[in-house]
Amino acid sequence: MKNTKRIIDAAYLILLGASIGGILTLGIVMTSTIFHSEDYIGPLLTHYQEGLIMSGGFDKFSYFLSFMFFVIISYEMYSYKILQRDRIVMIASFVSLCTIGLFVGVYTPAILEMQKLGTQATHSPEFESLHLGSELDFKILVVSLLVLMGRRLFVLLGKKG
C-alpha cells in the first residue's frame, strides 16, 4: 500500500509539473511565435487569424486543465482525509481550482464565442477586458500551481514549516 501511495504522489507531482509546463509553453512560447508569424512565413495571417490559432491551442489545453481540476480535487481531498494537511497546500489548491474553473468554464468559452462573431468583436472593449482577465487568470494559475507543487513536495518529504 505504501508503494502505491508513493506512485500516486509521484504521478500527482508529475501532472502538476506538466500543467505548469503547459501553461508556460502556451503563454510564452506559443503566443510569441504565433503572434509574430510574419517573422517565419511572411505577412500571410492577420492578427485575427493568429488569434484563432492561439485560441485553438488554449481550447485544447483546457481539456487537460479540466482533467487536472478533478485530479487536484481528488488528490487533495484524499490527502486531507489521511491527515496530510497543510494550510498553504489548501489555499494553493483552492486558488488553482478556482482559476482552472474560470479559465475552462468562463474565459475560454467566452473568447471562442466572441471570435465566432468576427474580427469586429475581437476589437471591442469587452473582448479586450475578457482577454486581459484570462491572461491574469492564467498567471495566477501558474503561480498557484507552483506553490501547490512546491509545498506538496515539502509536505510529502515531511519538512513542515
CB 138 within 8 A of CB 103: yes
- What percent of the chain shows pLDDT beyond 70? 98
pLDDT at 159 over 80: no
Q: Which amino acid is at 77?
A: M
Nearest CA to 99 out of 147, 133, 50 is that of 133
pLDDT at 1 over 80: no
Whole-number mean pLDDT of the chain?
Answer: 93
Using CA atoms, how far apart are residues 102 and 112, in angstroms rounded to an integer? 14
pLDDT at 87 over 80: yes
pLDDT at 161 over 70: no
Tell the burial category of 52 from Cβ atoms under 10 Å away from its Cβ (0-12, 13-18, 19+).
middle
Question: What average pLDDT does range 4-14 have in this prediction?
Answer: 94
Tell the burial category of 24 from Cβ atoms under 10 Å away from its Cβ (0-12, 13-18, 19+).
middle
What nine digits make up the cell of 3?
508503494
Question: Where would I find the H helices in the chain?
Answer: 2-24, 31-34, 38-41, 47-81, 87-102, 108-116, 125-157
pLDDT value of position 132: 95
Question: What average pLDDT does range 22-29 have in this prediction?
Answer: 93
Q: How far, in Å, are 14, 22, 42, 78 from residue 123 at the CA level?
A: 39, 27, 23, 45
Q: Dihedral sign for Cα 63, 124, 136, 90, please.
A: negative
pLDDT at 124 over 70: yes
pLDDT value of position 44: 87
What nine digits make up the cell of 95?
486558488
- What percent of the chain shows pLDDT beyond 90? 74
pLDDT value of position 40: 84
Using CA atoms, how far apart are residues 129 and 146, in angstroms rounded to an integer? 26
Binned at pLDDT 50, 70 and 90, residue 43 comes out as confident
pTM attached to this predicted model: 0.90
pLDDT value of position 139: 96
Question: What average pLDDT does range 29-44 have in this prediction?
Answer: 87
